[in-house]
Structure 1
Amino acid sequence: MYPSLKSQDEIELWSEEQWEHYRRRLFDVSEYMRNIQAAFARWYNRNYRRRGRFWAERFKSTLLGDTQAVLDCMLYVELNPVRAGLVERPEDWTGSSIFLRETGKDDWLVSLREFID
């Protein structure tokens, strides 16, 4: 993962190559997900006295090439609780962005109008 740092001064002494290395790792989604999954699996296995694999498969990401692909993906995700029979309407699922938009708790979300235009 990342080296343990002894002080703020040590960070300031990093070369441009060292900074670039960590910038690339920070913005690499696959690396980020691998680190999260590994840390969670270690925590879970330690706390529940398990060994071996935790995740069924590796993280994979798909590039959504245009606005329609993003909207299709959003619709798919928002409808999952309905398809699973957990709620009747997507806005009833408190973990959805539709719920946040319907209840006025969406000030941190990108406006759909802004996204589509």
Structure 2
Amino acid sequence: MAGYYELKLAKNGEFFFNLVAGNGQNILKSEMYSSRGAAENGIASVQKNSGDDDRYECKASGDDKHYFVLKAANHQVIGQSQMYKSESGCDNGMESVKTNGATEDIRDLTDG
């Protein structure tokens, strides 16, 4: 099964999305957006940039866990991963976003 995006509405009225791998695991979460259109533009940016190795940056947190961010061409962060126990886990997560990021399957979950 291929990956897909989930477009969601937060309790505070802002929109966000998750990129979900085919196995159902969240592999990338967006920032909060004030409008649906802005969140949809964020999805389009992930679709456009996810295949480019130069758009990823793996980082270490203060507790020796690793995560990555995906950046647009203007260097703005458009998504962040979960925390991984190892740098190799971080690398695998980036590969999963590269594999699933171009999907056009967007599931609108804003109504419930």
Please indicate the TM-score interval, normalised by the length of the shorter structure: under 0.3
Q: Which has the larger radius of gyration?
A: 1
**Structure with the larger helix share:** 1
